[in-house]
Amino acid sequence: MSDASAYWKANIRLVIGCMIVWFIVSYGLGILLVEPMNSIRLGGYKLGFWFAQQGSIYCFVALIFFYANRMNKLDREHNVHED
């Protein structure tokens, strides 16, 4: 396997992993599991409501930083970094 194809295979694997987390957070926790999560309270609000409104946004921002960090490491491993 050439270095370019190994790089893109790792890149696609990372993107798919991030998309799976995104799907679980947005659809799974924000829609499907909202009722069971509503039995728990966080700061006076039902957890399902809080997560659908605020918690998912925090997870998405954390996912962006995770992706940027992992891509920087991947770029350095395959010697395609910018700096």
Q: Is residue 83 part of a domain?
A: no
pTM of the shown model: 0.81
User: Structure tokens of 14?
Assistant: 């990372």
pLDDT for res 13: 97
Per the structure, the count of domains in the chain is 1
Q: Is residue 82 part of a domain?
A: no
The total of other beta-carbon atoms located within 10 Å of residue 25's CB is 19
Question: What number is the average pLDDT over the span 67-83?
Answer: 91
Burial level of 67, CB count in 10 A (0-12/13-18/19+)?
A: middle
**Could you read off the pLDDT of 13-59 as tens digits, one per residue?**
999 999 999 999 988 888 888 899 899 887 888 888 888 888 889 99
pLDDT for res 1: 61
Q: Which DSSP letter does residue 42 get?
A: E
Q: Is residue 46 part of a domain?
A: yes
User: Structure tokens of 16?
Assistant: 């798919």
User: Structure tokens of 55?
Assistant: 């918690």
Is the distance from CB of 51 to CB of 30 less than 8 angstroms? Answer: yes
